[in-house]
């Protein structure tokens, strides 16, 4: 499968510079709700599309397109993967055991927590690679930002086994209200069992 090319609106070359960890932390902490399209590139080169919902702290929902597409929910400190083809309950594991926890936590401070293992600028975007300093074996997350103003464009999660999953954000709506049921794993389980 051919790689997906994403066109980013670029600021004038003279205005582009490496974003500071302070500015990136502030932007993540100011993020309340997000709704938008995403494209996911899987470790095998395949890709999926869908809609993402984020409600910080600690909640996210990935609705994949397709008849039998999975649903991934983050809420109540858990990640749940619902397989549409299975009549079993969702596969669940603690959010704190995933690199996604680093951007969904209540207070992100990339400067003080000794979690940043990479901070780079390619002339257009700034990337920050972070991991849980207490559990580096769990993998890491590389966040890619444009700006100023600081805007999260994509992230790449590297799992324990070295496999990578990239999520590229499309058009997003920031702010607004998202219903709590979107992030309630027990509500989704009950809905599927009826």
Quote the CA–CA distance of 123 and 134 in Å, as a whole number. 32
Tokens of 141: 């997350």
Proportion of the chain in helix, strand, coil states, percent, rounded to 5: 20, 40, 45
pLDDT over 50 (residue 10): no
Structural contact between residues 137 and 143, judged by C-beta atoms closer than 8 angstroms: no
Output the pLDDT for position 136. 84
What proportion of the chain, given as a percentage, has pLDDT over 90?
Answer: 63
Q: Mean pLDDT of all residues in the chain?
A: 87
Output the pLDDT for position 6. 36
- Residue 165 contacts by C-beta under 8 Å, 6 or more apart in sequence? 40, 41, 42, 43, 156, 157, 159
Sign of CA dihedral 51, 53, 58, 124: positive
Kindly report the number of other CB atoms within 10 A of residue 28's CB atom.
22
Write down the domain spans for the chain: 15-193
- Residue 138: name the closest of 97, 91, 167, 101 by CA: 97
Tokens of 130: 């972070």
For residue range 57-105, list pLDDT tens digits in order: 999 999 999 888 999 999 999 999 998 877 788 999 999 888 888 889 9
- Residue 15's pLDDT band (cuts 50, 70, 90): low
Q: Which of residues 5 and 117 earns the better pLDDT score?
A: 117
Q: What is the CATH number that goes with domain 15-193? A: 2.50.20.10
Structural contact between residues 35 and 53, judged by C-beta atoms closer than 8 angstroms: yes
Output the pLDDT for position 134. 82
What does the pLDDT average to over 8-20? Answer: 61
Q: Which of residues 85 and 4 earns the better pLDDT score?
A: 85
């Amino acid at each position: 499968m051919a790689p997906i090319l994403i066109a980013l609106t670029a600021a004038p070359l003279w205005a582009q510079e490496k974003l500071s960890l302070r500015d990136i932390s502030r932007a993540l902490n100011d993020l309340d709700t997000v709704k938008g399209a995403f494209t996911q590139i899987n470790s095998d080169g395949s890709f999926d599309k869908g809609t993402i919902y984020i409600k910080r702290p600690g909640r996210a929902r990935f609705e994949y397109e397709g008849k039998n597409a999975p649903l991934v929910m983050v809420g109540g400190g858990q990640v749940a993967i619902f397989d549409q083809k299975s009549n079993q309950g969702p596969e669940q594991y603690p959010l704190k055991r995933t690199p996604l926890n680093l951007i969904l936590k209540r207070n992100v401070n990339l400067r003080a927590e000794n979690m940043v293992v990479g901070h780079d600028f390619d002339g257009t975007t700034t990337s920050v690679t972070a991991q849980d300093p207490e559990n580096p074996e769990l993998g890491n997350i590389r966040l890619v930002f444009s700006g100023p103003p600081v805007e999260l464009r994509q992230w790449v999660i590297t799992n324990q086994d070295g496999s990578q999953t990239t999520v590229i954000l499309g058009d997003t709506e920031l702010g607004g209200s998202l219903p709590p049921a979107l992030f309630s794993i027990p509500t989704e389980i009950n809905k599927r069992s009826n």
